[in-house]
Amino acid sequence: MSWFSWLFIVWSRSSQSLLLVWLVGRELGIRDGLLCDQMLTCSRWGTPSSQGLFQDGDVIIGGLFPLHYQPPNILITYIYAMVFALEEINHSTMLLPGIKLGYHIFDSCGRPPWALQSGLSLVGGDNTSCGQSVPMIIGGASSITSQILSTVLGPLSIPFISYLSTCPCLSDRLQYPNFFRTIPSDIYQARAVAQVVIRFNWTWVGAVVASFTCICQVFQEEIQGAGVCLAFVETLQRENIISDARRAALTIQASTARVILIFTWYTDVRELFLQLVKLNVTDRQFLASEAWSTSGDLVQNSVTSKVANGVLGVATRSSAIPGFESYLRRLHPIHHPDDEFLREFWEVEFGCSLHLSSSSIFTITLQWVGVSEKSTESLYRWVTYNVYLAVYAAAHALHSLLCPIKDSSSENNISTCSSPKQIKLLQHLQEVNFTTPQDETFYFQGADIPAKYDLVNWQKMPDGTLKTALIGQVDGFDLHLNESAIQWITGSNRVPISVCSEICPPGTRKVSRKGKPLCCFDCIPCAAGEISNKTGSLDCERCPLELWSNAKRTACIPRQLDFLAFNETLGITLTTAAVTGVTVTTVVFVVFLHYRHTPVVRANNSELSFLLLVSIKLCFLCSLVFIGRPSVWSCRFQQAAFGISFVLCVSCLKVKTIVVLAAFRSARPGAEALIKWFGPGQQRGSICLLTCIQIIICTIWLSLIPPVPRQDLGFQGSKVTLECAMVSVVGFCLILGYIGLLACTSLILAFFARKLPDNFNEAKLITFSMLIFCAVWVAFVPAYLSSPGKYTVAVEVFAILASSYGLLFCIFAPKCFIILLRPERNTKKYMMAR
């Protein structure tokens, strides 16, 4: 049956396969549903080939390898890894005894359309002896090829085992039920790289990827929520590798990212490194995928080593195949005259013909030994090992199908193999579980195998060359890393830093930059009263009421007690003003005492003037009680002293005003007795009565609900105010209200007496003093209520001092002026003149 006939079988089994075959068929030359009669053939090293490597057997295993692809001296070893494994199995007495495995290996030329053509030829039996079809195929050097072939072969239930396809999409058993692979999915590699990035706190990384890979998308999914951002993603296309590599190198040079992920083939990496060398970009830390992490061409390249020092990469864990290297060395076209692949390879790679002298043949043989040694280096060893595992997986699946154990009680568990008739391997391949000749357990988890990687580091040797060193392992999703063994790009053990923004120190919080990734942010200091005690905080925490943030905003500390103290500037100023007031009042008192017999002093009851001076002095002195650390007794005494002192002062002024009014009223006819009823005794009694009322109010208030010292936690700041708190404001309001009542009545009486005919009318002085007094205390109320902390006390002290100075100067300054500077006016005649 021709391979074109299989197209119609696939067409009838799957409409999805039909669409895919039609798309690929357009590249092959299918027009209007017809295939060109002449098979497109590969001409040497550039076009597809129908040539193959064949070996008959009881069961034929199909193989697809991209032989006509650069560099062919490496890829040809993949073919002979399959041949070597099949020969090893055929010589085994434990695996498929009595069954000879053959192979039909075609060249896919590294292009999906040619791979599809060769795959259909295998399942259709074209170009094979007796037209024998294969029950399974090993191939798929790319994920695209595997997707196409798995889709086409799926309806036929023909298993397809890939040794190099890593796309996570191929793990979908619903879409690709017949697909298997002996290489881990990229999801494990991407997670391993993501774990490394997160472990070293690299939050700003760049990525350079191949155009066909999806590993970058998987990597982005893994780093979501971990605070890692991609600074850029550059794509390399093999068709435009020089221009793409140049563009990517310029992007790397311009970026602030110091860690660069590279997920592409090693030939692309080599061109990228050459471009970076030209730009002298030698300070980037590169993370390598398995495709180039162990590339000998890069490690041993003296030019690119300037850029590649310190590379950290993921490498597929593999084992050396015993005897394979010697097997490669023995390969020679003379010994295998029917091997078209080997003959063609020798002619192209070494430019020779089989009709050469023995000396030329010897020289070329030495060159082939070098190729075989290079092919078994770690970069290529894991690929050949994957092919080797795929062959053994197929063999064990065939063994479970053709050689079942009939007698389970037998000690040797001897099985007999039946002749193959109709071979359906899909179910048996899913249940494969065996131990390889290297004593490793092998099984499939769906389409995949358990992921096992090595972590390698490119380290500079004393002679300047690079070598790969094993620094960790990855088993599934578990990362084991020896950080102390890593040599970074700097040549030291210090981990490089790659961040868009430096991590916010304690005492600050992160604020994202508008229009930028989450990894790019600004660090804003915490507000007063808030802290952040760890790096990278998103928010600041508010301190409890009794605590406050320190200067660095990293810890909450006890708030300092704050009060109006004597040793601070404000306290010193107010104390000085109070002492000055006491001093001036004392001086005035002494002056009045010395001139007590003069008319100015004797006018309007000199006894009241002396009592007024004493009360004003008490007002100055009571202000000092408000300054200093509040205590239980100071809180009680200060309000009582304030209330009683000012009531005494205002009472004196009120009585003096009444005396002035009574004196002038008594001068009228029939009112002579008025002054008698308000003599000195009645004046002193009135003052005592008015003052006792205030004393009673203070006594009741301070006995029941007195002010107490308390910390004011409501004020936000590093200091907590220690103040005399009013448990009840009723008592304080009664004290102020009573003082205000007396002041207002005094002001009214003085206002009525201001125009009485006299050269020295004291009522005018009392009027001015009461106006100042009332103005001060009216302004006091809003200022007191709006002032924070200790400044409420300062406002009250200022009001006391301002009103006291107003009374002192408005009433006694004019009298002192006459007594000291105008003694000629200090006469009864002048005083009584109108």
- Helix, strand or coil, per DSSP, at residue 765: helix
Pick 674 or 418 by higher pLDDT: 418
Task: For residue 592, give the CATH number of its domain.
Answer: 1.20.1070.10
Highest mean pLDDT among 109-113, 614-618, 810-814: 614-618
Is the pLDDT at 97 greater than 60, yes or no?
yes
- Do 554 and 432 lie in one domain? The reply is no
As given in the structure block, the two tokens for residue 392 are 């053994």
- Helix, strand or coil, per DSSP, at residue 515: coil
Task: Tell me if 580 is assigned to some domain.
Answer: yes
Query: Residue 587: what pLDDT?
Result: 93
Mean pLDDT of the chain: 81
Task: Tell me if 722 is assigned to some domain.
Answer: yes
Cβ atoms of 222 and 194 within 8 Å: the answer is: yes
How large is the average pLDDT for residues 330-335?
A: 77
Pick 664 or 248 by higher pLDDT: 248
Pick 415 or 104 by higher pLDDT: 104
- Do 591 and 695 lie in one domain? The reply is yes
Cβ atoms of 717 and 627 within 8 Å: the answer is: no
Is the pLDDT at 372 greater than 60, yes or no?
no
Round to whole Å and give the CA distance between 443 and 446: 9
- Do 431 and 550 lie in one domain? The reply is no
Rounded to 5°, angle at Cα 45 from 40 and 47? 20
- Do 101 and 178 lie in one domain? The reply is yes
Rounded to 5°, angle at Cα 518 from 512 and 521? 40
- Do 585 and 711 lie in one domain? The reply is yes
How large is the average pLDDT for residues 152-170?
A: 91
- Do 650 and 605 lie in one domain? The reply is yes
Task: Tell me if 697 is assigned to some domain.
Answer: yes
Query: Residue 380: what pLDDT?
Result: 62
Model confidence at 586, pLDDT cuts 50, 70, 90, reads very high
Is the pLDDT at 834 greater than 60, yes or no?
no
Residue 506 backbone zone (phi > 0: left; psi -120 to 50: alpha; other: beta) = beta
Please state which of the ranges 161-165, 212-216, 331-335 shows the lowest mean pLDDT.
212-216
Query: Residue 509: what pLDDT?
Result: 93
Model confidence at 678, pLDDT cuts 50, 70, 90, reads low
Task: Tell me if 627 is assigned to some domain.
Answer: yes
Task: State the amino acid at position 771 in one-letter form.
Answer: L
**Alpha-carbon separation of residue 141 from 69, 110, 281, 321, 375 (angstroms):** 11, 7, 33, 20, 17
Task: Tell me if 302 is assigned to some domain.
Answer: no
Model confidence at 322, pLDDT cuts 50, 70, 90, reads confident
Task: Tell me if 91 is assigned to some domain.
Answer: yes
pLDDT tens readout for residues 173-208: 999 999 999 999 888 888 899 999 999 989 999 999
Task: Tell me if 496 is assigned to some domain.
Answer: no
Task: State the amino acid at position 241 in one-letter form.
Answer: I
- Do 537 and 628 lie in one domain? The reply is no
Cβ atoms of 652 and 611 within 8 Å: the answer is: yes
Query: Residue 358: what pLDDT?
Result: 45
- In 415-550 the beta strands, taken as DSSP E runs, fall at 433-435, 441-443, 452-460, 466-475, 478-481, 508-512, 521-525, 530-531, 541-542, 547-549
Query: Residue 17: what pLDDT?
Result: 43
Query: Residue 355: what pLDDT?
Result: 53
Cβ atoms of 688 and 680 within 8 Å: the answer is: no
Please state which of the ranges 670-674, 699-703, 774-778 shows the lowest mean pLDDT.
670-674
- Do 537 and 605 lie in one domain? The reply is no
Q: Which of 696, 729, 758 is the last residue of a domain?
A: 758
Is the pLDDT at 490 greater than 70, yes or no?
yes
- Do 607 and 710 lie in one domain? The reply is yes
Is the pLDDT at 356 greater than 90, yes or no?
no
What sign has the CA pseudo-torsion 516, 313, 496, 490?
Answer: negative
Highest mean pLDDT among 342-351, 426-435, 487-496, 781-790: 426-435
Phi, psi of 586 (to 5 degrees): -65, -40
- In which domain, by residue range, is 695 found? 569-758
pTM over 0.85: no
Task: Tell me if 536 is assigned to some domain.
Answer: yes
Cβ atoms of 349 and 374 within 8 Å: the answer is: no
Cβ atoms of 297 and 502 within 8 Å: the answer is: no
Our count of domains for the chain comes to 3
Query: Residue 464: what pLDDT?
Result: 82
Query: Residue 28: what pLDDT?
Result: 39
Q: What share of the chain is helix, strand, coil (3-state, %, to 5)?
A: 50, 15, 35
**Alpha-carbon separation of residue 458 from 261, 783, 831 (angstroms):** 15, 75, 113
Q: Which of 716, 732, 758 is the last residue of a domain?
A: 758
Pick 420 or 497 by higher pLDDT: 497
pLDDT tens readout for residues 266-290: 889 999 999 999 999 999 999 999 8
Task: For residue 342, give the CATH number of its domain.
Answer: 3.40.50.2300
The whole-angstrom distance between residue 256's C-alpha and the CA centroid of its chain comes to: 17
Task: State the amino acid at position 682 in one-letter form.
Answer: Q
pLDDT tens readout for residues 103-117: 999 888 777 888 888
- Do 120 and 172 lie in one domain? The reply is yes
Query: Residue 802: what pLDDT?
Result: 92
With CA atoms as reference, report the closest residue to 703 among 638, 646, 636, 642. 636
Cβ atoms of 803 and 604 within 8 Å: the answer is: no
- Do 593 and 729 lie in one domain? The reply is yes
With CA atoms as reference, report the closest residue to 75 among 164, 178, 166, 174. 164
The residues, ordered by sequence, that sit 6+ positions from 46 with a Cβ below 8 Å of its Cβ are 68
- Do 729 and 586 lie in one domain? The reply is yes
Is the pLDDT at 786 greater than 50, yes or no?
yes
pLDDT tens readout for residues 681-729: 788 888 899 999 989 999 998 888 888 888 877 766 778 888 888 887 8
Is the pLDDT at 471 greater than 50, yes or no?
yes
- Helix, strand or coil, per DSSP, at residue 704: helix
